[in-house]
Amino acid sequence: MSSTSIDDLLSFEEERPAPVERSRGGRAGRVLRPLAGVGAVVVVLVAALRAVGLQVSLPVLVAGVVALFLVRRVVAALAPPPPPRSGRRVPAAADDDGTWNWGARDALRAAINGWERPLDWAARDRKRFAERILPRIGELADERLRQRHGLTRESDPERARALLGERLWTFLSTPSRRPPSPRDLAAIVAELEKI
């Protein structure tokens, strides 16, 4: 039994490409580059302040610049990803013609695709079905049992078997020799929804 929850199964996170790491100078470069930036900003600020006739304590000035650099780095790390760039214009509410926009990215479509792709991949491969799909269906069954009856297949097998029914219990507990047909899978999902 894996520890994936139903929220993990139905959530969608778009995979981001891995950032390209440039190792210019290694660890020393990662330390010296920000220090050089802080030094350059401090020198410019000291020159500008002296040009207008002001004097500020050097440690206070360095601490302020370091704090600004740290805030900038934290904000950059916590910034949300940029919105996807699509060549199409998103219609405004006034432009809505009442038809469904199948190209739009919504949570329902993402959840459907999260099941559709693995089901398609496992349609002909029994091993892949047993490794990828069957555990997900089992987790859904356990979550339904937990939410509606306060038990799981592992905590109270006898009662879970009675609630699931013999067909669904057998499907979840004994891997079949072939992946179920779409009709069989629809019947199993219907039984799962009755829980």
Summarised one tens digit per residue, pLDDT across range 108-139 is 667 667 777 777 766 777 777 788 788 888 88
Mean pLDDT for the chain overall: 79
* pLDDT value at residue 51: 93
HEC profile of 141-186: HHHHHHHHHCCCCCCCHHHHHHHHCHHHHHHHHCCCCCCCCHHHHH
For the entire predicted model, the pTM comes to: 0.42
**Higher pLDDT, residue 54 or 3:** 54
Tokens found for residue 144: 């339904």
84: Cα separation from own chain's centroid? 16
- Contacts of residue 4, defined as CB under 8 A and 6 or more positions apart, other chains included, come to 135, 136, 139
DSSP for 88-132 reads SPPPPGGG--SS--TTS--HHHHHHHHHHHHHHHTSS-HHHIIII
118 within 8 A of 132, measured Cβ to Cβ:
yes
Per-residue pLDDT tens for 133-181? 888 888 888 988 999 999 989 999 999 999 988 888 988 888 777 777 8
Calpha distance 111→109 (Å, rounded): 5
Per-residue pLDDT tens for 7-17? 666 666 655 55
Per-residue pLDDT tens for 22-36? 555 678 878 888 899
Mean pLDDT of all residues in 43-53:
93
Q: Judging by beta carbons within 10 Å of its beta carbon (0-12, 13-18, 19+), is residue 171 exposed, middle or buried?
A: buried
pLDDT at 87 over 60: no
Q: What is the largest CA-CA distance in the chain?
A: 88
